[in-house]
Chain A
């Protein structure tokens, strides 16, 4: 994997499967895991706030009939249950029912799996989530954060105990594969092209087209920087052709490269 030209700085790990396929997964990084937690916290906090506000409204109602008392008590009980449920049950129930995902994890394409690649079972989910209070000890969950940084497979204490990993599920941009490229293109029409075709390694080709498909989502400095980075990465691949010495700006150079491959 060392020859990879891709620019995602994610760590990958190999999983041992029983039948000699060495599966590779991309480990979720600290940033996306924190973001997923924040989404979950926001969601839970919103629900708690709504019920809390309702409880306060009913409690301060001037009427003192049986209906007010009943609904006030029901709301108080509900609020206590929700606070408890959010602290101890939210992650457990979602990760168990949604096969290792919570709403936050789903939004960020994260999933909890076992170290051997199999889906998590109920007891794994319990183990990793009941130990959450210890992982979130210290300012901003310092212990869990440190563990994710330090441990080889980005596992916090709960993950170590449950033998789980949090992985990032790669989303594929399928549209890049729809264009005809390489020798097929050369034989079908663009033969009038004077310049010789350039062969890129599949990973480089994929990287180039992923960039070209997404470049309109970037603006200004970020877009120029990304183009420059890719220009540097792909330059060795065109060694010996006229493109190596081309004076084009990075982004135009990349477009030209895509046209030639």
Chain B
């Protein structure tokens, strides 16, 4: 059969399969339309036959590529994995994310250690020479501290809280996601981000302590600090999981280790998105406000502790038996 004759004979079948696929791809299969599904599967088999024929007789044609694509689409609909649903999302947040963090506690610990090292170095740098603060803090914050005032009062009285909170959580999430992606640079960028943020915190602490602002600073960060720092550390841990897969793939190839560990790592990065949105809103709405100190401390502790409880203890041991194939 010539190519043209083959196409003219079978094209209606392919067109029918294409329309059915377009239909089912946008809307998903339903239990009710059995005849539809039966026709789909018979068209799939017939087209697979056409593909086999074309593979023998029409090598190197675009038609062959088209049939490959059509069969791939049909295959994906017939053997499709579960669709996205509330249950899948729930399992993602309450099983998969905490499980990933628990599987990679050493990486989280390394992330925390580097962050703490940053704090320590920041503290000792200012102790050694106060001018060290100017390498990391902008001058308006420095001047405000030198004159014995918290810089937060100035910022939050000018920028309205909704705008400030949006800015805070978007930039914090960016930092966290960059810390995850930085794992691909063998962890160098991740380590740098963690260190830099720790260093900044250390510098601010020591400087505020020197100018009698320690109480004000602690009051300001009490409500959101724990949650924010925990999130960055978890995301940094995700970055180190990726770096570890690259540097120490074990018995896998580097690519396989990356693909395998990347899944856990990205879950750890996603874990901090809702936490950082919460922290950003608190930082803008509650931290600069005149709520009593005990309230801020209690809120901060509650959020921070429940974040860690969620990561360490929820969604355990729900391993189901592997789904068995339906019989017949």
Contact = CB atoms under 8 A, between A and B. Distances in A.
Contacts of B48: 21
A76 interface: yes
Interface centre among B2, B59, B81 (most CB of A within 10 A): B2
B58 A117 contact: no
Given A99-B25, A130-B180, A203-B58, A163 B259 contact: yes
A6 B162 contact: no
How many of chain B's residues touch chain A, expressed as a range?
Answer: 35 or more
Contacts of B80: 119
Interface string B129-154: 00000000000000000000000000
A130 B65 contact: no
Given A161-B258, A177-B7, A203 B59 contact: yes
Interface residues of A, number: 65
Contacts of B255: 160
B62 A134 contact: no
A208 B71 CA distance: 26
B274 interface: no
A111 to B, nearest CB: 9
Contact of B170 (A15, A19, A83, A163): A83
A3 B167 contact: no
B36 interface: no
Contacts of A81: 166, 170
Contact of B259 (A135, A161, A205): A161
Interface centre among A26, A161, A205 (most CB of B within 10 A): A161
Contacts of B170: 80-81, 83-84
Interface of A: 1, 3-6, 15, 17-19, 21, 23-26, 73, 76-77, 80-81, 83-84, 87-88, 99, 113, 117-119, 121-123, 126-127, 130-135, 137, 157, 160-163, 169-170, 172-174, 176-184, 201-203, 205-206, 210
Given A23-B68, A127-B262, A169-B69, 18 more contacts: A6-B60, A25-B68, A73-B160, A73-B163, A76-B163, A80-B163, A88-B173, A118-B79, A127-B266, A130-B266, A134-B182, A134-B185, A161-B259, A170-B66, A172-B63, A178-B8, A184-B2, A206-B63
10 contacts: A23-B72, A73-B162, A118-B76, A127-B266, A173-B62, A177-B11, A177-B63, A181-B4, A202-B3, A202-B58
